[in-house]
């Protein structure tokens, strides 16, 4: 599965610790991240991470484009709800796209842990069927 990992500045340490704790699950999947978050995760875990631009410079939108094209299976976004973000419209747009396209979105540590435990159990296999249906539709 393709998993996006994003974290606001005050949550970067949390997503690094999360990635270390769940490295055994994350290593089985294709990881994508916004710029600094991806760099830090790679440095701390050695996991290969495809890095987009920094969130404020368009990284959130790049991940959103993958969501809109059914090329992302899960988004883990450790948001900082107590700090104003200059790119808040981009964050809101990404969250809206996840809702529109039925992409699982975890915005905090508790939800992200539930997602990864479910991923390990195979609870997200339905994404394979969604992608197959879309490919079949596009071939018509």
Write out the catalytic residue numbers: 60
Question: Quick one: CA torsion of 33, 38, 44, 45, rounded to 10 degrees?
Answer: 40
Let me know: does 122 contact 92? Beta carbons within 8 Å: no
Q: What is the rounded CA–CA span in Å between residue 36 and residue 9?
A: 9
Residue 100's SS3 state is helix
Residue (of 113, 118, 124, 119) closest to 18 by Cα position: 113
Q: Which residues contact 5 (CB under 8 A, 6 or more apart)?
A: 15, 19, 31, 32, 33, 37, 38, 41, 49, 76
């Amino acid at each position: 599965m393709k998993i996006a990992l994003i974290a606001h500045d005050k949550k970067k340490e949390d997503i690094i610790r999360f990635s270390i704790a769940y490295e055994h699950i994350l290593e089985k999947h294709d990881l994508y991240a916004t710029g600094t978050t991806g760099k830090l995760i790679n440095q701390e875990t050695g996991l290969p991470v495809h890095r987009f631009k920094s969130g404020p410079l368009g990284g959130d939108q790049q991940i959103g484009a993958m969501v809109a094209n059914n090329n992302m299976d899960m988004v883990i976004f450790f948001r900082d709800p107590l700090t104003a973000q200059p790119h808040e419209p981009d964050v809101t747009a990404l969250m809206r796209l996840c809702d529109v396209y039925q992409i699982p979105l975890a915005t905090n540590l508790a939800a992200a842990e539930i997602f990864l435990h479910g991923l390990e159990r195979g609870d997200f296999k339905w994404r394979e069927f969604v992608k197959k249906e879309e490919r079949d539709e596009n071939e018509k």
